[in-house]
Amino acid sequence: MASRQVSITKTISQRYIRPLWDGLKEVWSYGTGRIGLILLIILVGISVAATITMPSNLLAMWESPSYWDENPMLVPPAWVSYLGQPVAPQSVNVLTMPVSSGEQAGFMYYNYTAKYVLTQPQYPQDVIAKVLGATIFNIQVNNTVKVISPTITFILVRPDNLTLTLATTSPTITNISGWYTRMDVKLSLTNYGGVGQALGMRYINETQLAQVIGSNTTLLSVVKLGIMNEIVTLMRSFPQYYIFGKLAINVSLGNISSDITPIYQQIQSILNSLPETSPGVNVVKPGLSNALSSLQSAINARTPSGMIPYLYSALGNLTQAYAMSIAYNTFSANQSATLFSAITSLSKIISDLETTTKYYSIDIQTQPLTGTYIAQVIVSYSTEAPLTQLPGLPVSSVRIIFKGSAYGLLGTDDIGRDLAVILYYGFPVAMAIGLTAAIATTLIGLVLGVISGYYGGYVDEAIQRTVDVIGNIPLLPILILLGQIAELVFVNNPFMILMTIIVVLIVFGWGGLAITVRTMTLSIKEEPYIEAALALGASNNRVIIKHILPQVAAYGVASMVFSVPSAILTEAGLSVLGIRSGYPTWGAVLSRARDSNRYDVWWWIIPPGLLISITSLAFVLVGLAIERMVEPRLRTL
């Protein structure tokens, strides 16, 4: 029994392992083969490691923005800092114990604190907090069911000692079973108004503002409020510039006189066209003249505070003159309408000055504020909550995340996916697509090509006409059509969508090899040793398996190696066109970049394209070496 096992092992070694080893050594002897094999070993090794470490929820993880919400979005790799680019680091702080706790004013407080040091002049992208397992109580107080939720406050203390209350929330839940339950709460900047007010109060330059506006407290208050509103508006689009920035605020005065001058000209035109014989002219004319004088003084004033008294004086004189003109019927209908329009316009100017920032240009510039930031999450409960009855703390843990301006080995995409992780798990998918399609088409092409060439007749005719039909059908439209049908039929089943694509590649990919192998078989079957084998009683199957297939197999292997990159490139091309299997393939990563129209994000475009190119190059180099082995005439080239 033992000798039989040794004999089987020896047979396998002599028939399969030794020829394979000899073939690999010959491939290694060529420069292209050596480089290709090294690349293939690396690719296969990474693919095996990725397959072993691949999480079971990979597909859900790939499509879920919430899974990646702790990562910054659209940031370059962390190593760009070595190229001289300023980088704000990523920091994830997991806090299981509060820094301090205590009771105050009828509430129990738990304070979780994390520090973040920003040394380079770059803005972190955001800061968020996650309170995991926050307890919500459902108890009876005075025979009444009462739900007690925590109040959670998210605070950031900046290096300039400015305290920003970023968010405050009190989570609620209905249908609590039991006397308590737990839930997760995420906090990010929502208190835009409070943060804008705090920043405005800190960075508004009172001296510069007084120089522009003057001493009128109403106008100063309006402009201050306008600055704060402008900060809030800008912060909604670019919050990181204000949370992590120091502000330079400059207010300049617009050309108010351009609005006052037309009113002045209207009043002057009325005076110039007013006949001295008009009724009540002696009563109306002084008011108009005084109004002109006040308007001229307002135009000459340096600040809005200086303008306001003159504008009010002019408005009073014009209003009185208008009332007198009505009483005495001094003006014509056109003059009366002109004066009324002037009064309305002047009232609007005064209103705009006292209630809006229409006549001011507010310029807000920011630059990164370096130093130590302290983030605090304060969880507070009413003392009515039975905190002492819990098996532990009322909060399981707190995560405080400062999102950096660079991340990981290859950066992130538009929802924060770590591109290094996604591309890593794309290795086995790419290899599976390429090898499955290539091996299947090679086997089909070899078998049908040998059968066609060996048997001839109707069998040969049927196979060759099938090859002609397949060869004349355009592959890309068929792939797009069947891919879209598969997406509709196999909803939420990415494996079947991918298999549809692979099957189409197989069905339309074996024809060329079959034609070549047929030609080789026609030549081989005319050899004397084939006739001798048949004369000695060898069956057709034995002749094909023993004498023909071994001779065409080397060419088949070369063809298979060249077919792998073609399959990978086809899948990538379909993904870019919108036909996606659902797996995180390299083509799918490129497709996401195309959908987002972000061709400027180089770390999203170059790495997957480079991986596709390197994988294709590895197989092509090995194929070139095998081609030299199969065709001796190429060895001298």
Residue 13's pLDDT is 57
Give pLDDT tens digits for 38-82.
998 999 999 999 999 988 888 888 888 889 999 999 999 999 999
Q: How confident is the model at residue 583 (pLDDT cuts 50, 70, 90)?
A: confident
Could you report how far apart the first and last alpha carbons of the chain are, in Å?
52
Whether 296 shows a pLDDT value over 80: the answer reads yes
Whether 634 shows a pLDDT value over 70: the answer reads no
**Stretch among 137-141, 232-236, 391-395 having the lowest mean pLDDT:** 137-141
Q: What number of residues does the chain have?
A: 637
H or E stretch covering 106? none
Please state, as a whole number, how many other Cβ atoms lie within 10 Å of the Cβ of residue 389. Answer: 10
Q: What CATH architecture applies to the domain 23-50+418-636?
A: Orthogonal Bundle (1.10)
Please state, as a whole number, how many other Cβ atoms lie within 10 Å of the Cβ of residue 400. Answer: 25
Whether 8 shows a pLDDT value over 70: the answer reads no
CA distances from 45 to 23, 34, 424, 428, 560 (A): 21, 17, 11, 10, 20
Greater confidence (105 vs 265) lies with: 265
H or E stretch covering 506? helix 494-507
Residue 185's pLDDT is 93
Q: How confident is the model at residue 15 (pLDDT cuts 50, 70, 90)?
A: low
Whether 571 shows a pLDDT value over 90: the answer reads no
What whole-number distance in Å separates Cα of residue 438 and Cα of residue 433? 8
Residue 509's pLDDT is 87
Whether 343 shows a pLDDT value over 90: the answer reads yes
As given in the structure block, the two tokens for residue 527 are 């050899």
Per-residue exposure over 500-528, b if at least 16 CB sit within 10 Å of its own CB, e if not: bbbebbbbbbbbbbbbbbbebbeebbeee
What whole-number distance in Å separates Cα of residue 131 and Cα of residue 379? 9
Q: Which residues pair with 165 in a beta bridge?
A: 155
CA distances from 58 to 422, 491, 582, 621 (A): 9, 17, 10, 32
What whole-number distance in Å separates Cα of residue 464 and Cα of residue 470? 10
Whether 6 shows a pLDDT value over 70: the answer reads no
**Stretch among 193-207, 412-426, 555-569 having the lowest mean pLDDT:** 555-569
Whether 171 shows a pLDDT value over 90: the answer reads no
Q: What angle do CA 617, 623, 624 make, to 5 degrees?
A: 90
DSSP codes joined into one string, 63-91: H-GGGGTTS-SS---GGGGGGT---PPPE
* 112 neighbors 95 (Cβ within 8 angstroms): yes
Whether 366 shows a pLDDT value over 90: the answer reads yes
* 99 neighbors 379 (Cβ within 8 angstroms): no
- Burial degree of 498 (CB within 10 A; 0-12, 13-18, 19+): buried
Q: How confident is the model at residue 167 (pLDDT cuts 50, 70, 90)?
A: very high
> If you average pLDDT over every residue of the chain, what do you get?
87
- Sequence-separated (6 or more) residues with CB below 8 Å from residue 530: 524, 543, 547, 548
For the residues 122-134, what does the mean pLDDT come to? 94
- Sequence-separated (6 or more) residues with CB below 8 Å from residue 268: 292
Closest CA to 132 of 156, 150, 109: 150
The owner of tokens 């109707």 is 458
Q: Please tell me what DSSP assigns to residue 412.
A: B
Does residue 136 sit in helix, strand or coil?
strand
For the residues 256-285, what does the mean pLDDT come to? 88
Whether 344 shows a pLDDT value over 90: the answer reads yes
Question: How many Cα neighbours within 13 Å face the side chain of 99?
Answer: 11
For the residues 357-362, what does the mean pLDDT come to? 92
Please state, as a whole number, how many other Cβ atoms lie within 10 Å of the Cβ of residue 289. Answer: 15
Q: What percent of the chain has pLDDT over 90?
A: 46
Does residue 137 sit in helix, strand or coil?
strand
DSSP codes joined into one string, 383-409: TTS-GGGSSS-S-SEEEEEEE-SS-TT
**Stretch among 172-176, 181-185, 544-548 having the lowest mean pLDDT:** 172-176
Whether 26 shows a pLDDT value over 80: the answer reads no
Whether 281 shows a pLDDT value over 60: the answer reads yes
As given in the structure block, the two tokens for residue 594 are 């195309």
What whole-number distance in Å separates Cα of residue 146 and Cα of residue 386? 12
Q: How confident is the model at residue 478 (pLDDT cuts 50, 70, 90)?
A: confident
Q: What is the dihedral angle through the alpha carbons of 198, 202, 206, 207, rounded to the nearest 10 degrees?
A: -170
Is the CA virtual torsion 622, 628, 629, 630 positive or negative?
positive
Greater confidence (632 vs 558) lies with: 558
Does residue 222 sit in helix, strand or coil?
helix
* 569 neighbors 476 (Cβ within 8 angstroms): no
What is the domain partition of the chain in residue ranges?
23-50+418-636, 86-254+359-405, 276-358
Q: How confident is the model at residue 7 (pLDDT cuts 50, 70, 90)?
A: low
Q: How confident is the model at residue 88 (pLDDT cuts 50, 70, 90)?
A: very high
For the residues 305-309, what does the mean pLDDT come to? 92
As given in the structure block, the two tokens for residue 630 are 């199969």
Closest CA to 411 of 583, 238, 582, 607: 607
Q: In terms of DSSP bridges, do strands 163-169 and 371-382 run parallel, antiparallel, or are they unpaired?
A: unpaired
**Stretch among 259-268, 403-412, 544-553, 595-604 having the lowest mean pLDDT:** 544-553
The owner of tokens 């009413």 is 382
What whole-number distance in Å separates Cα of residue 210 and Cα of residue 216? 9
Helix, strand, coil: what percent of the chain each, to 5?
60, 15, 25
Closest CA to 43 of 570, 437, 586, 427: 427
H or E stretch covering 337? helix 333-355
**Stretch among 26-35, 127-136, 165-174, 223-232 having the lowest mean pLDDT:** 26-35
For the residues 163-190, what does the mean pLDDT come to? 87
Whether 620 shows a pLDDT value over 70: the answer reads yes
Q: 217-237 and 206-213 are packed helices; what angle lies between their axes, rounded to 10 degrees?
A: 120
